[in-house]
Structure 1
Amino acid sequence: MTTVTGRLWRDGEPQDDEFSFDAISDCLASDNQLVWADIYDPDHDALRALAGELHLNIWAVEDAVAPMERTKATVYHTHTFFTVYAVDSVTPPADDDISSTLSKHRISGFVLPRGLITVRLPSEDGVEFDIRTVSDRFDELGGQQYGVGALVHALLDVVVDGHFDAVQTLDDAIEGLEDELFADSGPRKGLQRSTFRLRKDLVELRRVVLPMREVVGAIQHRRIDAKTAPELDPLYADLYDHVLRASEWTESVRDLVTTVFETNLSLQDARLNTVMKKLTGWAAIIAVPTAVTGFYGQNVEYPGINTAAGFVASSVVIVLLVIVLYLMFKRRDWL
């Protein structure tokens, strides 16, 4: 079901009770007003009608509702279109080694000279993005005096902060795997599945984190070209730095999870070699009494046959050889 919320500022003062979706065109036409309209689960026909009213690029509108759209930013003559993915960390059940630890929320935006229109689609896992955090971040910045650039910055800043939290969650999970990997009792049974799940989550996260450099760079260059609100330039520079750090951190976590995966395989091979070495040692020890008793079990006459002395002699030989082999293998760490 389509839900529309929004905020309106006039001369830098909030006038949220006067916001009307039907009057967006009039609000955008006024030089002293700033409007933000958020459309959740949009109706395609209604969105196309709004695009025609605001002269939005029709292909950008299609991209806003198209499935599996990638993170990107496109600059048009009258507006800028972008698609980003906010990410939340979720905690699967303790015995669940398959479910993802990340929840993605797709947000598309049309940046106009005096307004921002965001389009959000429902999340596949049912976890919804709290759009109020963007509004709160904008108010903390005091962005009314800086126009739509501050509003876009608030949205992207919240998204990038979510990326940092997601990378931190994956990093902590990998550290937990490392502790299990080198535990004295050995790794638990589901370690391999947990590592594979983290690798899948990391691949999904990289797809939304790495292209953020393109999005922030395109919006910043558009602002610089238009020479609007130069006071925001340091904030956008800091935001771009955060995007770079998140990208680098994601790459380092990728190397870590690959190392954990390969190390686990190496440790499994080492454990298998140790087991085989011990089995071989015990097999050699067990072969001694088998050989001795087999010798005395021959159907031929030999010294000590059918006598107590022969039994004692064979038993002593078995015990001595077993002790010698055990001590020799133990000294060489074969047992």
Structure 2
Amino acid sequence: MPSIPPLPSFRGQGRARTPLPRIPVPTARAVVDCAIYVDGKRLPGRFNHSDAMAEVGNRGNGFVWVGLHDPDEYQMADIAKTFDLHPLAVEDAVKAHQRPKLERYDDTLFLVLRTVTYVEHELHSISEIVETGDIMVFVGPNFAVTVRHGEHSGLAGVRKQLESHPEQLMFGPGSVLHAVADHVVDSYIEVALSVENDIEEMEEAVFTPRNTVSIETIYQLKREVVELRRAVNPLQVPLQLLGHKPDLPLPKEIRRYLRDVADHHITVSERITDFDESLSELVSAALAKIGVQQNTDMRKISAWVAIAAVPTMVAGIYGMNFTHMPALEAEWGFWVVLVITLGICVGLYVNFHRNNWL
């Protein structure tokens, strides 16, 4: 009878499996809104980004505004193919937490903005106060593409406000760039006002007598202000370039509006710098207050130790068991020593209390 060959061993082969290919998600999943604007008015109907761009090309007038939320690399590649976006800018648009900047690729501008929002919290809690996100804006001759990361950076209100002012949309895609930048800077102002209220409450708590403030709470607020400063301050240079560089492909009127946005941004940046300085002073004041409280506690402890040392000393002397000691054999000896000891202790207590040690 012929022998049966042994079965092949598959031990360990499960670890070397080839990963399954990723299934691309349709670009429409990332598109929040897509519209065509002609003469400042939105055309009726629904369009995808490809059909909208083709319609604008056929008309020879108007522009497309596509809004995206958290697109992946496959979806952005599709958008880039339609609008001829530069690969480097597309790579930055996919990745969140980019530094605010302005880049130009031929006739296309790419602006990165950091968004911030204020998180309601208790004054003495150690929690996140400022949340950040990202908005990227591509502006070309006949299109505007906005890419946002984060849940708090919605642009539906911006689009609605622009559509209610056709005279602004008539300036073309640059009006979208201005509206988004103005919206982001306005949110900076709102967050700065809320943080300022927190700092004022913290100042009141620190300088209120007999009120304890956790130093960790001040450090947490200072850390959040540092994060706010990192999100806000770097936008100053891109806004200055947009408002003062005449060779950029933007209408003159839009550059004027952007200069106004840059002025508001400078005001917010200066206020945030003041926040940082105020919190540094608060940290010093809180540490000084803690030091004063520790000195007061040490004085009280030292005073009680001094009072307790008197009976301890007397008890130690009379506990040495010598035969010949003053009033050792007298019936009134114990009471005299006790009265003298209590008198000294009371005298020390009155003296310490008079000098605010107790």
Q: Report the TM-score when normalising by structure 1.
A: 0.88
Partner of 1:163: 188
Aligned residues: 327
Partner of 1:195: 218
Deviations 1:153-196 (CA, angstroms, capped at 9, x unpaired):
111111011111222222222222222223344225xx233223
Partner of 1:225: 247
Deviations 1:239-293 (CA, angstroms, capped at 9, x unpaired):
1111101111111111122222232222222211111111101111111122223
C-alpha distance in 1 between matches for 2:47 and 2:297: 73
Contact 2:126 / 2:220 at 8 angstroms: preserved in 1?
yes
Opposite residue 86 of structure 1, the aligned amino acid is T
**How do residues 65-214 of structure 1 correspond to structure 2 at under 5 angstroms?**
65-92=94-121, 94=122, 97-121=125-149, 123=150, 127-139=151-163, 142-188=167-213, 191-214=214-237
Change (3 A) 1:16 1:196: farther
Change (3 A) 1:27 1:81: farther
C-alpha distance in 1 between matches for 2:219 and 2:225: 10
Opposite residue 270 of structure 2, the aligned amino acid is E
Deviations 1:294-326 (CA, angstroms, capped at 9, x unpaired):
333342222322434212321232132123222
Between Structure 1 and Structure 2, which shows a larger proportion of helix residues?
1
Shift, 1:216, TM fit: 1.2
Deviations 1:34-81 (CA, angstroms, capped at 9, x unpaired):
321101122422322332332221111111112432111112221110
Partner-residue secondary structure (3-state), 1:293:
helix
Question: 1:322 aligned to 2:345?
Answer: yes
**Higher mean displacement: 226-235 or 4-13:** 226-235
Opposite residue 157 of structure 2, the aligned amino acid is T
Deviations 1:81-119 (CA, angstroms, capped at 9, x unpaired):
011121111224x49834312222211111112321011
Percent identical among aligned pairs is 27
Task: Give the root-mean-square deviation of aligned CA atoms.
Answer: 2.4
Change (3 A) 1:11 1:291: same
C-alpha distance in 2 between matches for 1:237 and 1:221: 7
C-alpha distance in 2 between matches for 1:140 and 1:273: 65
Listed as ranges, the gaps of 5+ residues in structure 2 are 1-28
Question: 1:237 aligned to 2:245?
Answer: no
Change (3 A) 1:261 1:31: farther
Partner-residue secondary structure (3-state), 2:170:
helix
Q: Report the TM-score when normalising by structure 2.
A: 0.83
Change (3 A) 1:166 1:58: same
C-alpha distance in 1 between matches for 2:33 and 2:271: 35
Listed as ranges, the gaps of 5+ residues in structure 1 are none
Larger radius of gyration: 2
Partner-residue secondary structure (3-state), 1:70:
coil
